[in-house]
Structure 1
């Protein structure tokens, strides 16, 4: 049983992170449970983020370096996997073309002006908000957010309609053992909620409300624009959700609520 779970765990990390792991053949039996372990890539990001926060609290590291490295940690661990989907989605959303043309834009490997503009704007807000997060408790809330965003994303993969019958998202959703994956992810979501509230009541509630609001908006927007979700829009959701979480924690920190 343990061996049957190790392979999906490794595949999840080989797919969604740059962490060196053995490269395994993607067998149907393994693909059933890969999404169960997707949030644990976020757990690694959160762990490294906490370590960085502890280091900054013990050494005289300035806010600019603190915020820029904190912002870079998710990019370094994932290789920008989700940001790529964010950029493709931004180009498609802002193209104002037909649904079919928007889906084609998602597949286009080239980047457009809208994606660059939106990415620069995103990271300006992200770095600015991150620089206002000072306490280790607040950093802990942000760290749990990396797990939360991926848990919700995984739930979306096995719950929402696919916009097309091809691509990585369709592969993972069609091969997943829907019942077990849903149970696993909902249990992980519940644990996230409990830990967030224990860490900080008001910041925890704010993060949960913000993440769920983004999740609802993500479904509405993707159904309206594409007729469903894709692998790129999943990356868009993870990126947007993490940005909202950082902003919420920053506001709570400035208000003395965490």
Structure 2
């Protein structure tokens, strides 16, 4: 029962998938970050379904682009938009954290979101779906969430409030770090074995950049910055997937 509740907490927080309603508590939140990658697995499965359906090419590309948004409800895109506004302000740490708390959408958020979806749709249109490509992308979507959960358990927090802080405090951080580290290493190994080493490399490099930005500009991570990392990683991994196909590696 506690395992199912833990998975339900992860889906309730990080997706738009309906789950049974129950009280969150110390037990069912302790390992919720370990279940977070399952949201990526669901995104990957639906992405593959979109790939095998007899859809016109533009509709398939749109499906590839929108499946993650439909599954997550846009929670990570919200963080991406807020973080783009904050980072583009070039203010000091306090100013950036203040912008992150502002519920309004600034000009830079709109510009970056439009640019993001234009790039994502273009890359999605370039993907030639095969079972191998579907497997690689599913693993990549799981990997980015494993790294995102690992960051919450391992990186310093920018503030003592907010979503990231709540999950970090509720988690058994040592166990979560160990589980997600092992999962991330295994996923990178499988990606490499399947010819998708470029996707793993993109995820790792962005994970390191995520830590740098968090520490240098905000003093730690926030829930919004976590969403920013997830969306940037997804876009660059998709670019790496296309590059592998263009280069004849897949």
Instruction: Give yes or no for the alignment of 1:254 onto 2:249.
Output: no
Instruction: Give yes or no for the alignment of 1:95 onto 2:93.
Output: no
C-alpha displacement of 1:140: 2.4
CA contact 1:43–1:143 (8 Å) conserved in 2: yes
- Runs of 5+ in structure 1 lacking a partner? none
Could you tell me the TM-score, scaled by structure 1's length?
Answer: 0.93
Aligned to 1:142: 137
User: Which of the residues 171, 178, 183 maps onto 1:183?
Assistant: 178
Q: CA–CA distance in 1 between the matches of 2:231 and 2:21?
A: 26
Instruction: Give yes or no for the alignment of 1:155 onto 2:129.
Output: no
Instruction: Give yes or no for the alignment of 1:230 onto 2:222.
Output: yes
Q: CA–CA distance in 2 between the matches of 1:254 and 1:135?
A: 13
CA contact 2:80–2:228 (8 Å) conserved in 1: yes
SS class of match (1:131): helix
> What aligned pairs does 1:118-133 form with structure 2 within 5 A after superposition?
118-133=112-127
Mean CA deviation greater in 117-126 or 82-91 = 117-126
CA contact 1:89–1:233 (8 Å) conserved in 2: yes
Mean CA deviation greater in 185-194 or 71-80 = 185-194
SS class of match (2:126): coil
Aligned to 1:197: 192
- Runs of 5+ in structure 2 lacking a partner? none
C-alpha displacement of 1:62: 2.7
Instruction: Give yes or no for the alignment of 1:111 onto 2:105.
Output: yes
Q: CA–CA distance in 2 between the matches of 1:16 and 1:74?
A: 11
> What aligned pairs does 1:165-176 form with structure 2 within 5 A after superposition?
165-176=160-171
User: Which of the residues 6, 9, 14 maps onto 1:8?
Assistant: 6
Aligned to 2:41: 43
Describe the superposition over 1:16-43 as per-residue Cα deviations: whole angstroms up to 9, x where unpaired: 1111101221111221111110010000
Q: CA–CA distance in 1 between the matches of 2:92 and 2:213?
A: 15
Q: CA–CA distance in 1 between the matches of 2:61 and 2:19?
A: 29
Aligned pairs, number: 249
CA contact 2:47–2:63 (8 Å) conserved in 1: no
CA RMSD, Structure 1 to Structure 2 (Å): 1.1
Aligned to 1:240: 232
CA contact 1:85–1:236 (8 Å) conserved in 2: yes
C-alpha displacement of 1:4: 2.2
C-alpha displacement of 1:135: 3.2
C-alpha displacement of 1:139: 2.9
Q: CA–CA distance in 2 between the matches of 1:256 and 1:68?
A: 24
